[in-house]
Structure 1
Amino acid sequence: MNGKQQLRIGIVGAAGRPRAFKQAIADHPRATVAALCDVTEERLRQASAHFGAYPAYLSYETMLEEAELDAVIVGTPMQVHVEQTLLALKRGLHVISEVPAGVSVEECRRLVRAASRSKGQYVMAENCNYMKPHMTIANMVRDGLFGELYYAEGEYLHEVKALNESTPWRRVWQTGVNGITYGTHSLGPILDWMDGDRIAKVSCVGSGRHYADSAGRPYAIEDSCVMTAKTEAGRLIQIRLDMLSERPGALNYELQGTRGCYESVRYELLGSGKVYVKRDGEPKREWADLAEVGEAYVPDIWRGLPEAVVGESGHGGSDYVMVTDFLNALTEHKPSPIPIHRALDMTLPGLISQRSIERGGEWLDVPDSRTWE
């Protein structure tokens, strides 16, 4: 950080996903955009029109060499996350990387080595962890309201056939590979609720293939892939990924404990959901709105957010809350909110699922990245 204690941030892929982070950076008293990077002049013009007239680069390596930076936001396609993160960590810069952490187990190994040697902190930008209902449920879990947790579900249902045409990398890395290719949005909140636990083994099967792209080529990924997982503590988790089926998008979650449960409201993409908590002597079991019974458990970081921020910053305000939390940690020299091993707890099960589905759903062990150090 510089003499004024401002965290100077370079943004790669600045015309894409990181645009949702603009307001959080602008509102933070100790952070500022310092440089922008993207792959074409047109995209750089778009980024500059959105963020402002900061130094702009077509080369990521040149930005790292020439710009005075303390941190980098990696908002590029998933297959380049690791290479760009490694270059920044090698320079001792903090990294906020989009999801997933990597696209192969070997990439993830390289990431662990680099993060363990760098002065910079690694943070994975899993915004689903920061959605208001998910953070509220996390506080309720930690207060013991659901009892001992033993089961959870997560579904990411997002039809992307048109996006495959406009962003061809998706056709290769998201729908060109079979299995759970994009599972951190589902796993992130669940593993946060199951604080300290990790997935130890997985089995993955698919529903078959019923769609083809505009060139008539069948997708490698099966329409719905379902990963069943067992955690180290013996909990059961089920994850469904569907990026092709004809249906509206949905993020669905379920959590079950010995004293109660939570279910998101299906068909409401960012709805708050319903909860049931067992009360001693209670004669009936009835659902209650999370927005009402969970009010006392809403995290402070969500309280008092202006409606404009909630409506404009992306994903119901979770992008704003996530980036604010990350910047607070980095500027106050606190541990990363989603550090390297937690990021890989979310990423590695999906990578191993891709091997399992090739083997007809065989149960396979998921490596613990902590052993790689």
Structure 2
Amino acid sequence: MDRNGRLRVGIAGAAGRPRIFREALSAHPRAELAALCDVTEERLDKAREHMGAVPGYLSYESMLAEAELDAVIIGTPMALHVEQAILALDQGLHVISEVPAGISLEECRRLAEAAERSRGRYIMAENCNYMKPHMTITNMVRDGLFGELYFAEGEYLHDAKALCEATPWRRVWQTGVNGITYGTHSLGPILDWMEGDRIVKISCIGSGRHYTDSGNRPFEQEDTCIMTARTEKGRLVKIRLDLLSERPTALNYTLQGTRGCYESVRHELLGAGKLFLQSGGGDDDKREWTDLMKVGRDYVPDVWRTVPEAMLGPSGHGGSDYVMMTDFLNALTEGKPSPLGIHRALDMTLPGLISRESAERDGAWLDVPDSRGWFE
């Protein structure tokens, strides 16, 4: 903390996605942006255009050694997340890492070990958990309105072929591997709704390959991959990932319980969706869908009532980036637990890593490890 008791935060990969966090950092009374890091001076200049005149570093290690930080936001390519997180955790810093937590089981184990021994805390920045409809559904689930949950599905559909050309790391780590290794957007909100539960077994199959990159090479990832999963409490979950098909971006979710269900707006990225909740009257003629934000307005978290208007557009993922970072900063400055700590982050990451092997084995059902058991 600085002399005023504020959390000093550095950002790695500052010219990329983390720029959207500036508003939350600037607005927070107990945090300040203290350092930026990226790979070229040009990218640092680009970051400063959004972040202001903040000290910049071309070396991540130098930023950690010299900037007197309390926490670091890791917004770098997927393959760097674990190594950079471990470096920070081993210096006692808090880590807020973009998704997924890691790209292999071995990496995830090393990350969990580092988080276990560090006085710093690890948090994974899955913004889909913080979208307004998803947080509203969470509060309604906690209040028992859905009854006993037994099925959910999540879909992340995003034609990333052009992104793979603009950011080559995506061609390696997103469309260069099969299965649902980039699955936390789909699975994250579901595990939030299913509090205290985790995926224990999965099967993954794909639809085949119909697209090629600019070099006319088929993508290693199949166009659509479907992961069927069973949870520890016996619930059924279906996850779809599609980064190649010709279609607009969409995030689709379903939740089914004994007293009702939720369906997102399947053709809109940020739509609220509709609910059916059992009224108790038993009159089938009156069964109908109702807009989530009409029925659930009393369940919208208070934090959503103070999101700046500028953050509510697509670039801020409808405001979820602001809400997420505000929640993380509150957790770190107030000593409160984060809902996306190391083990929940791995609950969201490990099923997708296992899905790669399942897809290679024609959909074989495989067990998903529990990171909590790695330290028993």
Q: Tell me the TM-score normalized by structure 1.
A: 0.99
Q: Does 1:334 find its partner at 2:350?
A: no
Which residue of 1 is the match for residue 148 of structure 2?
148
Tell me which residue corresponds to 1:349.
Answer: 351
C-alpha distance in structure 1 between counterparts of 2:222 and 2:287, whole Å: 38
Q: Look up the equivalent residue of 1:262 and give its one-letter code.
A: Y
Are 2:123 and 2:338, in contact at CA under 8 Å, matched by a contact in 1? Answer: yes
Name the counterpart of 2:363: 361
Q: Secondary structure at the match of 2:39?
A: coil
Task: Give the share of equivalent positions with the same residue, in percent.
Answer: 74
5 Å-filtered alignment, 1:140-219, equals 140-219=140-219
Q: 1:322 aligns with which of 324, 347, 350?
A: 324
Question: Which secondary structure does the structure 2 equivalent of 1:303 belong to?
Answer: helix
| Residues 14 and 75, structure 1, Cα contact 8 Å, conserved in 2 | yes
**Structure 2, unaligned runs of 5 or more:** none
Instruction: Tell me how far apart the structure 1 counterparts of residues 155 and 339 of structure 2 sit (CA, whole Å).
Output: 24
How far is 1:280 from its partner? 1.1
Q: Secondary structure at 1:314's aligned position in 2? A: helix
Flag the 1:54–1:134 CA change in 2: closer, same or farther, 3 A: same
Report the CA distance between 1:312 and its aligned residue.
7.3
Q: CA RMSD, aligned part only?
A: 0.9
* 1:23–1:313 CA contact under 8 A, matched in 2: no
Distance in 2 between the 1:259 and 1:193 partners? Answer: 15
Unaligned runs of 5+ residues in structure 1 are none
Residue type of the partner of 1:314? G
Cα pair 1:254 1:264 within 8 Å, conserved:
yes
Q: 1 CA distance for matches of 2:56 and 2:280?
A: 61
Amino acid of the structure 1 residue aligned with 2:287: R
Displacement of 1:282 in angstroms is 4.1
- Equivalents in 2 of 1:304, 1:16: separation in Å? 25
The residue correspondences of 1:228-247 to structure 2 (distance < 5 A) are 228-247=228-247
Looking at structure 1, the residues matched to 341 and 351 of structure 2 have their Cα atoms a distance apart, in angstroms, of 17
Q: Is 2:294 the counterpart of 1:292?
A: yes
Q: Give SS of 2:128's match.
A: helix
1:2 aligns with 2:11: no
- CA change 1:206–1:134 in 2 (3 A) is same
Decide whether the 8 Å contact of 1:121 with 1:336 is kept in 2. no
Structure 1 contact 329–337 (Cα < 8 Å) conserved? no
Q: What letter is aligned with 2:3?
A: G
Superposed displacement of residue 307, structure 1: 2.1
2:307 to 281, 305, 308: 305
TM-score under structure 2 length normalisation:
0.98
Q: Separation in 2 of the partners of 1:65 and 1:183?
A: 33
1:69-121 Cα offsets, whole Å, 9 max, x none, are 00000000111000000000000000000000000000000001000000100
Alpha-carbon shift at residue 3 of structure 1 (Å): 2.6
Determine the C-alpha separation between the residues in 1 that align with 2:302 and 2:269: 23
How far residue 149 of structure 1 moved from its aligned partner, in angstroms, is 0.2
Which residue does 1:107 correspond to in 2? 107
Contact kept, 8 Å, 2:181 with 2:349, in 1: the verdict is: no
Contact 2:105–2:350 (8 Å) recurs in 1: yes
1:9 is paired with a residue whose SS is strand
Task: Count the aligned residue pairs.
Answer: 373
CA distance, structure 2, for counterparts of residue 234 and residue 313 of structure 1 = 37
In the alignment, the residues of structure 2 paired with residue 115 and residue 168 of structure 1 have an alpha-carbon distance, to the nearest angstrom, of 29
Q: Name the counterpart of 2:22.
A: 22
8 Å contact kept, 2:183–2:348: yes
Residue 313 (structure 1) shift: 6.1
Write the deviation string for residues 249-270 of structure 1: whole angstroms up to 9, x where unpaired: 1000000000000000111110
